[in-house]
Amino acid sequence: MSDYRRVYLEGGTFFFTVVTHARRPVFQDASAIGLLKESFRYVIHRRRFLVDAMVVLPDHLHCIWTLPPEDGDFSVRWRLLKTYFSGHYKGEVADYVRKSMAAKQEAGIWQRRFWEHSIRDQEDFNRHCDYIHYNPVKHGLVGSPGEWKDSSFGRFVAKGLYPPDWGEDAKKELIEMNLE
């Protein structure tokens, strides 16, 4: 039996990291990104929640969700998301994963678990949003957060929460931030 425990808070706000199995670059394909968005719409329609911030990188994603006041079960939402995505995913990586699963060599498209953190206050929320939006720069995928299209950064800029050039200068505290 595992000592692993999750904290479920009705109406809570949570930061998540979800990783593909063996860090396969599933999300380097635009059709996989489209399917992930479809998966989110599917689950949100059935189990309401708000996606406050998000970034999708080739082999993992980070997001912040706020759950409805009467519901604290984020695990069922992740199960539904992963199941929907896995059931509809097609492509080279999908073929490889399905063959490996048939040979009992792999666990699937996703790592079994995900990492979650309960957001405690506005400062904690802001810090995690910064981490999310700076993550593509941290991984060397782009030079600034505004260059990465699979992120909520543009939405934050449109709302006036970040200036358009936020993160263009390497910010040591963001590079060193380790929330994963």
Phi, psi angles (nearest 5°) of residue 63: -155, 165
Q: Is residue 4 part of a domain?
A: no
Q: Is residue 2 part of a domain?
A: no
Q: Is residue 89 part of a domain?
A: yes
Q: Is residue 85 part of a domain?
A: yes
pLDDT of residue 113: 87
Residue 72 neighbours by CB distance under 10 Å: 16
Using the CB atoms, write b or e for 30-62: b if 16+ within 10 Å: eebbebbeebbebbbeebebeebbbbbbbbbbb
C-alpha triplet 54, 56, 57: angle, nearest 5°: 140
Provide the pairing of β-strand 50-56 with 13-19.
unpaired
DSSP 166: T
pLDDT of residue 132: 98
| Predicted TM-score of the model (pTM) | 0.86
Q: What tokens appear for 100 in the block?
A: 């490996």
- Residue 85 buriedness (CB in 10 A; 0-12 / 13-18 / 19+): buried
Q: Is residue 5 part of a domain?
A: no
The total of structural domains in the chain comes to 1
DSSP 70: T
Q: Is residue 77 part of a domain?
A: yes
- Supply the CATH number for residue 160's domain: 3.30.70.1290
Please give the torsion angle defined by the CA atoms of residues 131, 45, 113 and 73, in that order, rounded to the nearest 10 degrees: 100
Q: What is the pLDDT along the chain (180 residues), one digit of tens a residue?
A: 455 678 888 999 999 999 999 999 999 999 999 999 999 999 999 999 999 999 999 999 999 999 999 999 999 999 999 999 999 998 666 666 666 655 554 458 999 889 999 999 999 999 999 999 999 999 999 999 999 999 999 999 999 999 999 998 755 455 555 544
pLDDT of residue 179: 47
Q: Is residue 6 part of a domain?
A: no
Q: Is residue 131 part of a domain?
A: yes
Host domain of residue 149: 13-176
